[in-house]
Structure 1
């Protein structure tokens, strides 16, 4: 695999999580960001732990297939590792991460990786969707939408989540996160996120979900969403929720 010349957030997160699927350029990018912000590994461990708890909660509610947007590297406690009996379709738009994910999952018959733009469901290969999310549109499925909201403006995010609502069957569940204003206190780190990055106040989160209804846990800091024990003390960078697609 040709080594990329630009870091990717997905592979930087793999580095912070202690994974093995990143390149020197990603390590350099991660260390440069930490110089501007501080330690990132605890923050992303908390976010990945939230994903694990959310996926386990979905499986307890009967979900056995998942569609993952902005999937990044499919290791270190990602969906198919948390729910090994489920089928999972990971999607991303970054070509290097996409090839990396396909290589990692090459031997799996329960998890696949393909191109997919969350803002345009039609970009997903229908054959892959049918194979790995066989109940799509007909029975409840799990949709994972982490790490994406901060890179979509309000109108695009609301439209995207509403299109997902319309495309899924009643009873489907959505795992979603939002970036808080944590980086406002770290202007150098904020500048590294690029012009598309959007921080939001917690009051703005719920309206963006539209018709998706959060579970009774609400939209809370990810370390406080159904914690397995005392929540780890981490910066309040991400709020998360699991939301339900109700019957129309």
Structure 2
């Protein structure tokens, strides 16, 4: 794979998680962001731990197929590693990340990677969708929607989550996160996120879920969601939830 000349958030996160699937341009961007803000590695490890607890809870409810949007690099504790008996379709819109993901998953018959725009489920290859998320629309699945809400305005986010609700079968689950206003006092870091980046106060998160019903855990800082023992001592940069589409 040729080395890209632009950094990728997905590969920067891989670097922060201690992975091996990133390039010097990603490391440089990650270091620059750390200089402007600080505890990136700890925060993204906490978010990845939330992903693990969330998908395990969904699998424990009997779900064995997952559709992942904005998947990034499929390593370092991602869905197919946490629930190896499940089938998983990872999707993203970045062609470099997709090619990397396809290379990493080339030997797997339970996890695939393809193009998918979270705001338009019709962009996913139907053959891939039905291969790796069998029964999509007819039996419960897990939808993973992490790292995306901050780049969608309220109307687009609400519409997208409602369309996923319509498409998923009753009994399905949604794992989702939201960016808090943590970066508001770090103008240099905030500038690096670009004009599309949206922070929201915690009170804004539940209404955006629409018809999805959060579990009794609610929408809480990701370090606090079903954690065992004391939560990780990280800033509340991300809030998360697992929500359901009721069966009746």
The TM-score by the shorter chain falls in which range? over 0.9
Corresponding residue for 1:218? 218
TM-score, length of structure 1 as denominator length = 0.99
CA distance in 1: counterparts of 2:104 and 2:247, whole angstroms: 37
Q: Provide structure 1 residue ranges, at least 5 long, that are not aligned to the other structure.
A: none
- SS in structure 1 at match of 2:171: coil
SS of 1:3's equivalent?
Answer: coil
Which 4+ stretches in 1 moved above 6 angstroms? none
2:174 alignment counterpart: 174
| Alignment partner, residue 209 of structure 1 | 209
User: d(CA) in 1 for partners of 2:91 and 2:228?
Assistant: 28
Deviation (angstroms), 1:39: 2.4
Match of 1:91 in 2: 91
Q: In 1, Cα distance between the equivalents of 2:95 and 2:159? A: 25
* Structure 1 residue 34 corresponds to structure 2 residue 34: yes
Residue 247 of structure 1 and its aligned partner are, at CA, apart by: 3.4
1:211-236 Cα distance to aligned partner (Å, 9 max, x none) = 00000000000000000221110011
Paired residue for 1:71?
71
Alignment of 1:19-168 (within 5 A): 19-168=19-168
**2:137 match: secondary structure:** coil
**Other-structure match for 2:235:** 235
Question: What RMSD, in angstroms, separates the aligned Cα atoms of the two structures?
Answer: 0.6
Which string of whole-angstrom CA distances, capped at 9 and with x for unpartnered residues, describes residues 183-211 of structure 1? 00101000000000000000000000000
Instruction: Give me the whole-angstrom Cα distance separating, in 1, the residues matched to 2:161 and 2:118.
Output: 9
Partner of 2:6: 6
Give the total of aligned pairs.
248
Q: Distance in 2 between matches of 1:122 and 1:168?
A: 13
How far, CA to CA, are the matches of 1:226 and 1:185 in structure 2? 29
SS at match of 2:196: coil
The separation in 1 between residues aligned to 2:236 and 2:184, in whole angstroms, is 12
Q: Distance in 2 between matches of 1:193 and 1:118?
A: 19
Q: Which runs of 5+ in 2 are unaligned?
A: none
Residue in 1 that maps onto 2:186 = 186
SS, match of residue 217 in structure 2 = coil
Residue 200 (structure 2) aligns with: 200
Question: CA separation in 2, counterparts of 1:121 and 1:48?
Answer: 24
User: Taking structure 2 as the reference length, what is the TM-score of the superposition?
Assistant: 0.99
Q: Distance in 2 between matches of 1:247 and 1:190?
A: 41
